[in-house]
Amino acid sequence: MKSTNILIACILAIGISSCENTSEDPQDLEAPIIDHASSTDEISPDHGEVFTEMMNHIPVSFSVEDPSGIGQIKVNVHANFDGHSHARVLTNFETLAIDDIYAVDASNPDFQFPENSTRVEVGTEATDIYWSGDNSRLGGPVLAGMYDFSITATDIYGNQTTFADGSSYLTTIHIRTEYAPKVTVSNLNDGELVGTLGESLTVTGEISKPDHELSGDLAFIWIKLGEEDEDHDHDHDEENSRISNDEYVFDKMWGSSQWIAEGTGADLPDTQNIDLSTLLSGDNKIILPESGDHLDLTIRAEDVNGNTIEKTYEVHMD
């Protein structure tokens, strides 16, 4: 009987000990937090950032924090010339395709961080992403256009940030080069195009092939006019002053795109220089709607090598 009591006591002791250990087990179910580095006010690259013809790299700067410890951080860059068709490049140009992995045992020493780190800061020249120059990640010239840049992170328990809840960082950046097509609109008023409701919109300027040894002939143009981005900071006097985003007021293509499956239209009037006022005349006039106050005019041009430029201009309507 005495031995039975001892056995029961041992079982109870083990059970209590097990419960105590369970209560001390980590209950972290939260993903890491991605934010700006302590030396800056914003994550770099910023949302929609444009890298002009004189730039050659993406400055990468951010922080990741998790009280339990950080397991892995991933920085990804890939082409988004059309919303991810991933068409095959048939020239010597290269898309910027980056998949940098930061971890305790990362293969690149510049991407390593100490074990048990609860905060990691990224922001040195070694972690910047170059597409030309001595530190270039590419073997040839970069394809100009829009790229998706993202940051994701996982803690030591496998909790991962996601794009669905906004805990991962995602933005589209624009890489412009000296050899990509040029788009110039010359009749802007305080940075906007101005038009009259119900009448044709005047757009002057040009789309041209630059005088550069790597430049190719113009191959494709897409011009569309539609509702402005909902994040745009404009005051609207009337609640229903904005048109539906389901349809564009104007949406036309010329030439043939390397990136867009259905990107074909009428023949280009020229492959070197196209006058916008002439292109947008006659049957191609842009007629503004009868109501509303602001829209966005987007002009996209692509050359035979796949280099792309896209510019958006606000259109104020009176």
Cis peptide preceding 45, ω within 30 of 0: yes
Q: What is the pLDDT of residues 177-222, one digit of tens each?
A: 999 999 999 999 999 999 999 999 999 999 999 999 999 999 999 9
Residue 282: DSSP 8-state: G
**From the CB of residue 81, how many other CB atoms can be counted at a distance below 10 Å?**
24
**From the CB of residue 107, how many other CB atoms can be counted at a distance below 10 Å?**
8
Q: What is the dihedral of CA 129, 132, 133, 136, to 10 degrees?
A: 50
Structure tokens at 285: 């006039």
- Residue 210 three-state SS: coil
Q: What is the pLDDT of residues 81-90, one digit of tens each?
A: 754 444 555 5
* Residue of higher predicted confidence among 242 and 57: 57
Taking 90 as the threshold, does the pLDDT of residue 15 lie above it?
no
Burial 3-40 (b: 16+ CB within 10 A, else e): eeeeeeeeeeeeeeeeeeeeeeeeeeeebbebebbeee
* Residue of higher predicted confidence among 247 and 264: 264
Domains and CATH numbers, the chain: 33-175 (2.60.40), 182-317 (2.60.40.2550)
For residue 56, CA distances in Å to 141, 146, 178, 219 come to 11, 15, 11, 25
Q: What is the pLDDT of residues 64-81, one digit of tens each?
A: 999 999 999 999 999 987
Rg of the chain (C-alpha set): 27
The pLDDT of residue 293:
87
The pLDDT of residue 246:
54
- Rounded to an integer, what distance in angstroms lies between the CA atom of residue 31 and that of residue 75? 16
Q: To the nearest whole number, what is the mean pLDDT of the chain? A: 87
- Rounded to an integer, what distance in angstroms lies between the CA atom of residue 37 and that of residue 35? 7
At 85, the amino acid letter reads: S
Burial 159-184 (b: 16+ CB within 10 A, else e): bbbeeeeebbbeeebbbbbbbbbbbe
Please report the beta strands in the chain, taking only residues with DSSP state E, as ranges in sequence order: 33-35, 50-51, 57-58, 62-65, 70-79, 98-103, 119-122, 129-130, 145-155, 169-175, 182-185, 193-195, 205-208, 218-227, 250-255, 273-275, 294-303, 308-317
54: left (phi over 0), alpha (psi -120 to 50) or beta: alpha
